[in-house]
Structure 1
Amino acid sequence: MKAIPQISEAELEVMKILWELKSCTSAQIIERLAEVSDWKPKTIHTLITRLVSKEAVSAVKIDGKSYLYSPNVSEEEYKSYANKSFLHKLYNGSLNLMLASFIKEQHLSKREIEELKKMLDEEM
């Protein structure tokens, strides 16, 4: 199993764009993030540079100074890692404790509870 790097919340916003587009330039990432944040281009370049240094993202030079970026970690791999990390940090790895807490806090409807039961039955 390959090591999954720690990715900050801000870096995760860059990763979401890369997962969606598969590969893109920093200009495309900046354009997309401008729609949902007030981050400056320099900040976004810093986030991209960090992701490259963490080896979460690869960079291939496409002309004199532009790079094409693509994710080295798939969205599914990252979600699996993040889920396990969250479960371990907050619930000592106990899925039962997490689910009990989630169900209690979320005030699930009967329909939602039935859907959960169905999912659990299908996993058996």
Structure 2
Amino acid sequence: MVKLQEKESTISNSEWEAMRIIWTLEPVSSTKIIEELQAKKDWSESTIKTLLRRLVKKNLLSTKKEGRHFVYTAKVNQTQVMTEAAQELLDRMCDMHKGEVLLQLLTDSPISKSDLAKMQQVISEKEKSAPDMVPCNCLPDKEHVC
């Protein structure tokens, strides 16, 4: 799988919709993608085909022709792309407040017991070297509390 960052591409909201279906069902035919997207969105077949062509052009999908249909497979890993998108957003935030944001996301998100156990392990490990307070990084070369 290829990282999204290496593609120098961003995924639009519409492209996320298509990619989620492809990641779930891959390999998946264009007919099935159209059917699934039309069940969720009021999009025409031609709009969806254009969307798929854009994803192929961005090198995020591979495609092969099988009979009268195209079959799509993701060239990027779902979890990796989600992590990169979340990290890109977190990189724009104040370091001091990232913990609060992560806590709220943890509170608001459905999470499995196995993922919670993994999180507990990571927290235990990070706790060993965590500072008492994370400094603000909003202003260059200044210590500031925001």
> What band does the TM-score fall into relative to the shorter chain?
0.7 to 0.9
After TM superposition, what 4+ stretches of structure 1 lie above 2 angstroms from structure 2? 98-103, 118-124
Residue 56 (structure 1) aligned with residue 56 (structure 2): no
CA deviations on 1:40-87 (whole Å, 9 max, x unpaired) are 111111110100000010111112x42110100111110111011111
Q: Judging changes above 3 Å, is the alpha-carbon distance between structure 1 residues 23 and 100 closer, same or farther for their aligned structure 2 residues?
A: same
**Structure-1 residue corresponding to 2:100:** 100
SS in 1 for 2:40: coil
The AA in structure 2 aligned to 1:121 is I
| CA drift at 1:20 | 0.3
TM-score by length of 2: 0.65
The one-letter code sitting in structure 1 at the alignment partner of 2:13 is E
Q: Which residue of 2 aligns with 1:10?
A: 14
- Point out where structure 1 has 5 or more consecutive residues left out of the alignment: 109-114
C-alpha separation between the residues in 2 aligned to 1:15 and 1:42? 17
Question: Structure 2 unaligned runs (5+)?
Answer: 108-115, 127-146
Which structure has the larger Rg over C-alpha atoms? 2
Could you say which residue in structure 1 is the equivalent of 2:71? 68
Structure-2 residue corresponding to 1:111? none
Contact 2:31 2:69 in 1 (8 A): no
Structure-2 residue corresponding to 1:39: 43
In structure 2, what is the Cα distance between the partners aligned to 1:122 and 1:50?
43
% identical equivalent positions: 28
3-state SS of 2:63 partner:
strand
Look up the equivalent residue of 2:80 and give its one-letter code: E
Cα 1:48/1:100, change in 2 over 3 Å = same
**Structure ranking higher in helix proportion:** 1
- Specify the SS of the correspondent of 1:38: coil
User: What root-mean-square deviation, in Å, do the aligned CA atoms of Structure 1 and Structure 2 show?
Assistant: 2.4
2:25 pairs with 1:30? no
TM-score by length of 1: 0.75
